[in-house]
Amino acid sequence: MLDILQQYWLMLLVGQYPNGPLGGLAMTLILAVCGLSLSFPLAILLAVARTSPYRWVARISGYTVNMIRGMPLLMLIFWAYFVLPKVTGHSISGFWTLVCALVVYESAYLSEVIRAGIEAIPKGQIEASRSLGVGYWTTLRKVILPQALFNVLPGMTSQFVSTIKETSLGYVISVNELTFAANQINNMVLTQPLQVFGILAIMYFIVCFSLSRAVGWLDRKIRRVRQMSPA
């Protein structure tokens, strides 16, 4: 295991860079960050639509979310790979294809988490804000979302973690990320797949686990500041 690591660590970290395209762990992280930062606002929008007082808005967004939830990400990536260029008229790189598929998929899941948070806000909170003369959108922005998002922080974290893990499906469309790099190494080493995938597992674990821990720490800190009971 150590000899593999010694020989290929650069490839695992950055892929062919700087002689070729960036890849490996660096690419995985870039993908995850792009996927997350784009799906987050979209998920909020979807969640707000699903809790909207307009029945049809709620219904349409509900169908959309369930449709996406019913499809394996693999299939979604596949369709994005071929449909996106048709729609936009431009050829689109594997990287952006994967980002788009991830964003669509993750915002559906994330929106479910956020919706649960919004629905759990006591009605009195909304009434209190509205009775002070504050409008719907400001109430949403200043009262509902801050509380809802904070309350579902653990749920969102595990969604973030699965996004990181799901970038690994990028290898199907040859996006040069961590799993792809590991596959390449595996093809070169050929006879030690367990060791190669062991290294892969450890790398994912370190990244994901530190993320969860960091968010947990943040959560406790905010609770302390707000003098709320620990969750």
Partner 1 sequence: MLESVYLWQLLNGMATTLTLFSVAWVMAFSLAMVLVVVRTLNLRICRWIVDAFVEYHRNVPLMVQVLFWYFGMPELLPEGFRSWLYAHNAELSLAAIALALGSSAYIAEDIRSGLRAIPGTQFEAARALGSSYLQTMRYVIVPQALRISTGPLISRALLLFKNTSVAMAIGVVELTYQAREIENETYRTFETFGAATVLYLCGSFLIMLIGMRIQARFALNRGAGHA
Partner 2 sequence: MIKFDKVNKWYGDHHVLTDIDLHVRKGEVMVVCGPSGSGKSTMIRTINRLEEIQKGTILVDGQDIHAKGVNLNHLRGGIGFVFQQFNLFPHMSVLQNIMYSPVHVRKQGKQETRDLAMSLLERVGLAHKAEAYPGSLSGGQQQRVAIARALALKPPVMLFDEPTSALDPEMVGEVLQVMKALARDGMTMVCVTHEMGFAREVADRVVFMDAGQIIEVAAPDEFFGNPRHPRAQKFLADVRAH
Partner 3 sequence: DQLADIAARGTLVCGTLGTSQPFSFQDAATRTLVGYDVDVCKLVADKLGVGVEYKLLSVAARVPELNESRVDILAANLGHSPARAEQIAFSHAYYVSPQKLLVREDSGLETVEQVNGRRVGATKGSSSEREVKRILDKSSVIGYADSSATYLALQQKKIDAQVASELVLVRLLLQSPPTAPVAIVREPVFMEYWGLGMRKDEPAFVARVNEILDEAEQDGTAAALFEKWFGAETPYKLERSFKIAPIAE
Residue 66 binding target from partner 3, partner 2, partner 1, none, CB below 5 to 8 Å by type: partner 1
Nearest to 47 by CA among 174, 152, 176, 186: 152
Contact between residue 92 and residue 64 where contact means Cβ atoms under 8 Å apart: no
Contact between residue 125 and residue 118 where contact means Cβ atoms under 8 Å apart: no
Region binding partner 3 by CB under 8 A among candidate stretches 52-60, 98-106, 123-131, 184-192: 184-192
Give 87: exposed, middle or buried? Use CB within 10 Å, 0-12, 13-18, 19+: exposed
Region binding partner 3 by CB under 8 A among candidate stretches 12-20, 120-128, 157-165, 220-228: 12-20
2 or 132: CB nearest partner 2: 132
Q: 96: which 2 tokens? A: 């952006």
Helix, coil or strand: residue 67: helix
Region binding partner 2 by CB under 8 A among candidate stretches 60-68, 110-118, 119-127, 182-190: 119-127
Amino acid at residue number 46: L
How many whole angstroms separate alpha carbon 123 and alpha carbon 128? 9
Binds partner 3 by CB under 8 A, chosen from 1, 3, 7, 209 = 7
Residue 128 binding target from partner 3, partner 2, partner 1, none, CB below 5 to 8 Å by type: partner 2
Rule CB under 8 A: is residue 125 a binding residue for partner 2? yes
| Residues in touch with partner 2 (CB under 8 A) | 122, 124-125, 127-135, 138, 142-143, 146-147, 150, 225-229
